[in-house]
Amino acid sequence: MTTGAPAQTVHFHQKHYTAVVSGAKVSTVHWREDIHEGPAIFIFDNHPTARPLAGQVTAVETYDLAHLSPLAARQPPGTDMTNFARQLRVNYYPEMPEDAVVQVVVIATGHHGDSSLPTT
């Protein structure tokens, strides 16, 4: 991990705020985003009260969407990955093709609780 590197921005749907802050959500699947290991600012799009959170991207793994397994995506065993891919398209990436290559991004906030950045 590079120290002193500027923090990248990683966007989440607002519904993931509590899970990220609590440490329950430790990964996310993204398509066509240039995410890399290192410092990050987690942004919760359209959340009415959430401030950006300081965190880290601790790992980035690349997979063909068609071969993404529940284990690789950090989903519960038995997750229907066809439905998982469908939900990625419906909720986040409507233009994502069947043969997409996705990133599984592993995250950490450093501690659980309020790790939000001060407002300016």
13: Cβ contacts below 8 Å, ≥ 6 apart: 44, 45, 91, 92
Full-model pTM: 0.84
Q: Beta-carbon neighbour count of residue 114 at 10 Å?
A: 9
Task: For residue range 102-120, list pLDDT tens digits in order.
Answer: 999 999 996 554 445 444 4
| The CATH fold of domain 8-107 | 2.30.130
List the domain boundaries for the chain. 8-107
Split at pLDDT 50, 70, 90, the class of 46 is confident
